[in-house]
């Protein structure tokens, strides 16, 4: 492996070479200019071009070499690699200084390089998406080689059980067969998200209506930060709140009515998740409602409608696509929310519709599968990637639909407030 010292030496040598390139090229350009020859670019630009010519290829070679070593496992001795790239740097220096000629467009060359670098940065986001997709899919495929896809999607028992023992070559000791039927997880996720939406959509939407239509400016400027603070609270904090404060309250409350509630009931994480999503819904809906042109409101008011009738019959129907789109995004958030459910919902896959019982979600099982000390190759660990794949596909679909809806809404009113 690279020792820090060699790396440091390499960087130092490279920096010195770069400096030499800068000084020499600049001096040469200045000389040429003083000789009275008109040049295409400024001396500094020639200097920078030389620096680029020196460092660029050298770093590129180093990076490619390191990558080849990692990817292909080819053993290239590190000192050789670094020495090679230093040689290339020296050649680059020579070429760069040679290029300091009156008819050379140094500025254009630099800008081509800069443009290329910017474009490469833009590609990082694409690479990330594909990284997520590929990493999840490849592991999920390994999982489905062990378990049937059909059982995964339709099975009603999630019992990874001792599958890690099987992976460790001790399959004989396993008493029960591991089962990966994910239906209980989907149902749990669905119910908790549903509870969250039942809290978040009415409260968030009404708050947005108040902010956009009724609130005097003073309250608006006061309420916005409040909602922003609510939005900025880390989910782990909400999770703690749900587990320590809300869940016992719900248990007591249910007990008061003679109902039996689990401390890991689905209601607590659902409600708290709803609170978390309120600002999300309200700020998006606020934007959408504000994007409805005032001419709509005036048209209705001029017919002798009251303000609320106008809101209900004209403004809300007009902003409906935007509100639905916001709600879909919120659903996608609720589905992927992890910390609140990890801390407040149960671990036990429980196929039930009773929100007072404990149930578990997709994200809880992902975390559970990856935080133990299991072998990475075990079915349980890999099941996390299968669940992740489902989560990715569902949230991506929700997001796409939401984007399409908001785009249609925007085209309708030709506004750009979103």
Partner 1 sequence: MLNEQTTQAKGQAIDVPTGDSTRTHAPQAGQPGEPVNRNKEANHELSIRVRDLNLWYGEHQALKNINIDIYQKNVTALIGPSGCGKSTFLRCLNRMNDLIKSVRIQGLVEMDGRDVNETKMDEVALRRRVGMVFQKPNPFPKSIYENIAYAPRMHDLVGRKAEQDELVERALRDAGLWNEVKDKLHQPGTSLSGGQQQRLCIARAIAVQPDVILMDEPTSALDPISTATIEDLMDKLKQQFTIVTVTHNMQQAARVADYTAFFHLGELIEYNDTRVMFSNPHIRKTEDYITGRYG
Partner 2 sequence: MSQSFDEITAQLRRRHRRSANLKRMSMGALILAAAFLVVFIGDMLVKGLPAFQQAQIQIEVNYSEQAREIPPAAVGDDVRSLVSRGYLRLIPSRMEENPELLGTQRMEWVIADSTVDQYLKGHNSELRPKEKRVVDRLVEQGRAELRFNTTFFTTGDSRMPEMAGIAAAAMGTVMTLIVTMAVCFPVGVMTAVYLEEFAPDNHLTQIIEININNLAAVPSILFGLLGLAVYINFFGVPRSSPLVGGLTLALMTLPVIIIATRTALRSVPDGIRQAAFGVGCSRWQVVRDHVLPLSLPGILTGSIIGMAQAMGETAPLIIVGMVAFIPDVSASFTNAATVMPAQVFTWAGDPSPAFVEKTAGGILVLLAVLITLNATAVLLRKKFERRW
CB of 358 to partner 2, least distance (A): 16
Task: Number of residues interacting with partner 2: please give it, by CB under 8 A.
Answer: 93
Closer by beta carbon to partner 2, 49 or else 392:
392
Q: What is the DSSP string of 183-203?
A: HHHHHHHHHHHHHHHHHHHHH
- Tell me if 338 contacts partner 2 by CB under 8 A: yes
Closer by beta carbon to partner 1, 82 or else 289:
289
Rounded Cα–Cα distance for residues 358 and 348 (Å): 7
What's the residue count for the chain? 418
Rounded Cα–Cα distance for residues 168 and 376 (Å): 10
Rounded Cα–Cα distance for residues 409 and 26 (Å): 56
Interacting stretch for partner 2, rule CB under 8 A, among 72-80, 85-93, 294-302, 364-372?
Answer: 364-372
Residues that bind partner 1 (CB under 8 A): 217, 293-306, 309, 313-314, 317-318, 412
Closer by beta carbon to partner 2, 94 or else 210:
210
Closer by beta carbon to partner 2, 204 or else 322:
204
Rounded Cα–Cα distance for residues 381 and 403 (Å): 33
- Tell me if 69 contacts partner 2 by CB under 8 A: no
Q: Which residues of 86-123 are buried (b: 16+ CB within 10 A; e: fewer)?
A: bebbbebbeebbebbeeebebbebbeeeeeeeeeeeee
Closer by beta carbon to partner 2, 88 or else 329:
329
CB of 61 to partner 2, least distance (A): 19
Closer by beta carbon to partner 1, 72 or else 218:
218
Q: Are 61 and 88 in contact (CB under 8 A)?
A: yes
Binding residue for partner 2, selected from 17, 342, 359, 379, defined by CB under 8 A? 342
- Tell me if 245 contacts partner 2 by CB under 8 A: yes
Q: Which of residues 125-144 bind partner 2 (CB under 8 A)?
A: 125-126, 128-129, 131-132, 135-136, 138-139
Q: Which of residues 306-325 bind partner 2 (CB under 8 A)?
A: 306-309, 311-312
- Tell me if 301 contacts partner 2 by CB under 8 A: no
Partner whose binding site includes residue 302, from partner 2, partner 1, none (CB under 5 to 8 Å by kind) = partner 1
Q: Is 159 helix (H, G, I), strand (E, B) or coil?
A: strand
Chain centroid to Cα 203, Å, comes to: 26
Query: Cα dist. 69→11, 34, 81, 131 in Å?
Result: 20, 49, 10, 20
């Amino acid at each position: 492996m690279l020792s820090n010292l060699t790396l440091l030496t390499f960087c130092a040598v490279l920096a010195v070479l770069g400096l030499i390139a800068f000084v020499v090229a600049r001096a040469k350009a200045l000389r040429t200019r003083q000789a009275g020859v008109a040049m295409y670019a400024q001396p500094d630009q020639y200097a920078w071009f030389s620096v680029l010519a020196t460092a660029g290829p050298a770093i590129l070679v180093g990076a490619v070499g390191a990558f080849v070593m990692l990817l292909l496992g080819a053993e290239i001795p590190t000192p050789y690699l670094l020495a090679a790239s230093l040689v290339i740097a020296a050649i680059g220096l020579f070429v760069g200084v040679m290029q300091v000629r009156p008819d050379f467009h140094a500025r254009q060359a630099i800008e081509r390089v800069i443009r290329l670098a910017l474009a490469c940065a833009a590609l990082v986001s694409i690479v990330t998406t594909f990284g997520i997709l590929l990493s999840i899919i490849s592991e999920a495929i390994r999982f489905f080689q062990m378990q049937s896809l059909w059982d995964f999607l339709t099975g009603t028992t999630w019992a990874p059980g001792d599958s890690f023992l099987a992976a460790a070559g001790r399959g004989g000791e396993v008493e029960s067969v591991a089962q990966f039927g994910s239906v209980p997880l989907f149902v749990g996720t669905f119910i908790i998200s549903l509870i969250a939406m039942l809290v978040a959509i009415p409260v968030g939407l009404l708050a947005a209506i108040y902010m956009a239509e009724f609130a005097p400016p003073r309250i608006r400027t006061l309420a916005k930060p409040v909602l922003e603070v609510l939005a900025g609270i880390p989910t782990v904090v909400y999770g703690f709140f749900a587990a320590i404060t809300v869940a016992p309250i719900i248990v007591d409350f249910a007990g008061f009515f003679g109902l039996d509630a689990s401390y890991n009931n689905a209601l607590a994480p659902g409600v708290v998740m709803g609170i978390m999503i309120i600002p999300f819904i309200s700020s998006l809906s606020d934007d959408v409602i504000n994007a409805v042109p005032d001419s709509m409101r005036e048209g209705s008011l001029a017919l002798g409608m009251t303000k609320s009738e106008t809101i209900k019959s004209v403004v809300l129907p007009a902003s409906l696509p935007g509100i639905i789109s916001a709600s879909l995004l919120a659903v996608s958030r609720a589905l992927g929310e992890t910390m609140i459910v990890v801390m407040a919902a149960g671990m036990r896959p429980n196929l039930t519709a009773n929100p007072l019982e404990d149930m578990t979600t997709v994200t809880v099982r992902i975390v559970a599968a990856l935080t133990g000390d299991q072998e990475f190759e075990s079915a349980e660990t890999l099941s996390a990637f299968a669940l992740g794949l489902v989560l990715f596909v569902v949230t991506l679909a929700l997001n796409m639909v939401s984007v399409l809806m908001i785009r249609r809404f925007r085209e309708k009113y030709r506004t750009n407030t979103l």
